[in-house]
């Protein structure tokens, strides 16, 4: 059957990518795709979008390749605290303290009775003093450790989640996982336990604010702060990765900045998974875990992830600190996921010329779509950030190309240099050619006269003279 004479309409490419064309119609299009690079690229992008939609949509009793069913399905997806889910809310980072917060229904009754004024109740050896924040799975209280006489942040599982075995196991796994990581840039877990039927974990109580609040207040952070915070988060991630743990929800809301030192600490390991877990991307059928604007493309697709997924998220955080905006933005969740899968964010130095080129290149490296194109470890990121200076980048911002820079294999296996090698003066091909022409002209001026040929009349005169001399003889 002959192929197509011209590029088909987008609708036909969409049907082909979804497998809805008949065999008779697919064969000519297939032959066309072999010859047409543009149409082939479009089909690949459409297939990627279909996989992304499938991962982020509720597909119960609906065939994933039925586009008519995807539209109402996507519209029905609930969003809680910016976390993608398909059946039930997942853990979200605690909100800042607020007088308007109320204890979730049923939790107050589940606490043991208060014994002193100012208490909301008691749980194990902790006096519950006030509510700090609430998320999908649990709530966080400010509490007093009676035995050790210190303030703690007490995270308690919601009563309506306790009957969910998967949620309960995930909550307890978070505490045990983080407790195994002892690092200056990871929040400390003091105790994981259960009292009166309520699972809880006692954590380090921190004064300060989240990085999210800092960005909202300052928009674009100073370069030294960006490098310091990014490096400290990278070191904390390396510690978690050394224990075989993947955070899977690195974002400004899960990074705490201490009030006295400004030191960064990673919070909320509610989505943590072991790197060896074959089914780490799901907690139950249909779940895609993470926050849309910060999750890696492989995490958004629901495929297996490794430590480099956290590095992509760290790159998104660095981008936001540099520019004051998320790298991947959309009008809704699906638009954000589409941008995450197929678009490159605007160049950092186009939005903030004060960012050094080395820092901008590092962020672009971290935001590579393929995990194999990112740095091999968080340690490499930390070392690279340590070498970036806080001086404004000299020279104009280059905007001719919006494509990310390419990185050599040497760069992929080490740190990024602060600047490109300097260009030697006088190395321009135009100047070289000009000097060669000038030299040739000078040679012609000074050397040609010594080799000039006598005019014709001189030759004839010489012949006449020789003839006259013979006659006289």
When comparing pLDDT for 51 and 169, which is higher? Answer: 169
Q: Which residue has the higher pLDDT, 366 or 431?
A: 366
Q: Tens digit of pLDDT for each residue in 407-432? A: 443 443 444 443 333 433 344 456 55
pLDDT in tens, 93-107: 344 434 345 666 667
Mean predicted confidence (pLDDT) in 448-463: 44
Q: Is the pLDDT of residue 459 over 70?
A: no
The helix-helix angle for 307-323 and 211-218 (nearest 10°) equals 30
Could you tell me if 217 and 228 are in contact, meaning their C-beta atoms sit under 8 angstroms apart? no
Most confident of 22-31, 188-197, 288-297, 319-328: 319-328
Please state the pTM of the whole predicted model: 0.63
To the nearest whole percent, how much of the chain has pLDDT over 90?
A: 40
What is the per-residue pLDDT across 442-453, written as a single tens digit (0 to 9) for each?
Answer: 666 655 454 444
**CA of residue 269 relative to chain centroid, distance:** 18
Answer yes or no: 184 catalytic.
no
Which is the catalytic residue, given 212, 249, 268, 310?
249
| pLDDT at residue 15, as a whole number | 76
Right CATH for 83-204 from 3.20.20.70, 3.30.200.20, 3.40.50.2300, 3.40.50.880: 3.30.200.20
Ordered by start, the domain boundaries in the chain are 10-75, 83-204, 209-412
Contact 237, 378 (CB under 8 A): yes
Range name among 37-41, 186-190, 197-201 with the lowest pLDDT average = 37-41
Q: Mean pLDDT for the chain?
A: 74
The stretch 269-291 carries a mean pLDDT of 54
Q: Is the pLDDT of residue 139 over 50?
A: yes
Query: Where do we find the tokens 């007490």?
Result: 154
Two structure tokens written together for 343: 């678009």
Instruction: Please give the pLDDT value at position 301.
Output: 87
Q: Which two tokens stand for residue 225?
A: 């702060």
CATH architecture of 209-412: Orthogonal Bundle (1.10)
Inter-helix orientation angle 37-56/10-17, to 10°: 60
- Where helices occur in 367-453 by DSSP H, the ranges are 378-387, 409-412, 429-447
DSSP 8-state code for residue 256 = E
Banded pLDDT at 252 (limits 50, 70, 90):
very high
């Amino acid at each position: 059957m002959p192929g197509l004479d011209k590029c088909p309409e987008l609708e036909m490419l969409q049907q082909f990518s979804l497998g809805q064309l008949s065999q008779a119609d697919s064969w000519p299009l297939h032959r066309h795709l072999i010859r047409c690079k543009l149409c082939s690229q479009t089909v690949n992008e459409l297939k990627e979008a279909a996989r992304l939609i499938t991962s982020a949509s509720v597909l119960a009793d609906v065939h994933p390749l039925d586009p008519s069913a995807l539209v109402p399905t996507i519209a029905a997806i609930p969003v809680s605290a910016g976390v993608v889910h398909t059946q039930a809310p997942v853990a979200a980072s605690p909100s800042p303290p607020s007088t308007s917060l109320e204890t979730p229904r049923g939790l107050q009754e589940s606490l043991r009775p208060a014994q002193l004024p100012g208490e909301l109740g008691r749980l194990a050896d902790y006096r519950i003093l006030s509510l700090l924040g609430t998320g999908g799975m649990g709530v966080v209280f400010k509490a007093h450790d009676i035995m050790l006489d210190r303030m703690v942040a007490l995270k308690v599982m919601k009563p309506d989640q306790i009957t969910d075995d998967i949620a309960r196991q995930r909550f307890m796994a978070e505490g045990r996982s983080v407790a195994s990581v002892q690092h200056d840039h990871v929040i400390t877990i003091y105790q994981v336990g259960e009292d009166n039927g309520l699972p809880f974990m006692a954590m380090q109580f921190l004064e300060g604010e989240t990085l999210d609040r800092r960005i909202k207040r300052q928009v674009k952070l100073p370069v030294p702060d960006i490098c310091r915070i990014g490096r400290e988060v990278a070191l904390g991630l390396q510690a978690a990765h050394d224990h075989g743990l993947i955070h899977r929800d690195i974002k400004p809301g899960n990074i705490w900045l201490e009030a006295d030192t400004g030191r960064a600490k990673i919070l909320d390991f509610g989505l943590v998974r072991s790197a060896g877990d074959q089914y780490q991307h799901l907690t139950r059928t249909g779940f895609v875990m993470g926050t849309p604007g910060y999750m890696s493309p492989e995490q958004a697709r629901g495929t297996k992830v490794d430590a480099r997924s956290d590095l992509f998220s760290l790159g998104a955080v660095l981008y936001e600190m540099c520019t004051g905006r998320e790298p991947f933005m959309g009008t809704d969740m699906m638009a954000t996921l589409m941008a995450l899968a197929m678009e490159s964010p605007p160049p950092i130095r186009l939005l903030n010329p004060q960012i050094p080129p080395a820092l901008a290149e590092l962020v672009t490296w971290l935001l590579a779509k393929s995990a194999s194109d990112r740095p091999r470890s968080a340690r490499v990121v930390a070392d690279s950030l340590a070498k970036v200076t806080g001086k404004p980048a000299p020279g104009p911002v280059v905007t001719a190309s919006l494509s990310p820079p390419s990185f050599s294999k040497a760069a992929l296996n080490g740190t990024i240099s602060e600047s490109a090698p300097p260009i030697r003066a006088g190395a321009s091909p135009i100047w070289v050619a000009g000097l060669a022409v000038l030299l040739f002209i000078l040679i012609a001026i000074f050397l040609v006269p010594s080799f000039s040929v006598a005019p014709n009349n001189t030759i004839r005169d010489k012949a006449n003279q020789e003839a006259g001399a013979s006659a006289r003889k």
